[in-house]
């Protein structure tokens, strides 16, 4: 399922115009990105928690070019809720 598919399904379920649903979806994602950028976890009850994991930065090599690339010390993580796990199983 793509982002566009999600927007269409949300619009149908809510009875909203697609354009309004797209704006709301973009606003939600923007708010989530901002919170994660600040290091705050984002919890969606019944779905899961998005957070930022910290690890030490590493230097790796690009296998094609051989150039050194530094991998950041922060990476996004997602932990599904028990309810989401049960739904998938």
- Which residues are within 8 A (CB) of 74 and not within 5 positions of it... i.e. 6 or more apart? 52, 53, 54, 55
C-alpha–C-alpha distance, residues 86 and 71, integer Å: 34
What is the sign, positive or negative, of the torsion defined by CA atoms of 64, 66, 68, 71? positive
Residue 89 pLDDT greater than 90, yes or no:
yes
Query: Model's pTM, two decimal places?
Result: 0.77
Domain of 70, CATH number, reads 4.10.520.10
Our count of domains for the chain comes to 1
Instruction: Share the mean pLDDT of the chain.
Output: 95
Confidence of residue 46 (pLDDT cuts 50, 70, 90): very high
- Which residues are within 8 A (CB) of 24 and not within 5 positions of it... i.e. 6 or more apart? 10, 16
Residue 33 belongs to domain spanning: 3-88
Three-state SS for 51? strand
Confidence of residue 55 (pLDDT cuts 50, 70, 90): confident
């Amino acid at each position: 399922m793509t982002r566009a598919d999600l927007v269409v399904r949300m619009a149908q379920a809510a009875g909203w115009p697609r354009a309004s649903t797209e704006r709301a979806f973009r606003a939600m994602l923007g708010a989530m990105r901002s919170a994660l950028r600040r290091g705050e976890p984002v919890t969606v009850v019944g779905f899961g928690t998005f957070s930022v994991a910290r690890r030490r930065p590493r230097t790796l090599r690009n296998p094609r070019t051989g150039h050194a690339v530094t991998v950041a010390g922060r990476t996004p993580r997602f932990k599904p809720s028990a309810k989401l796990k049960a739904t998938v199983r």
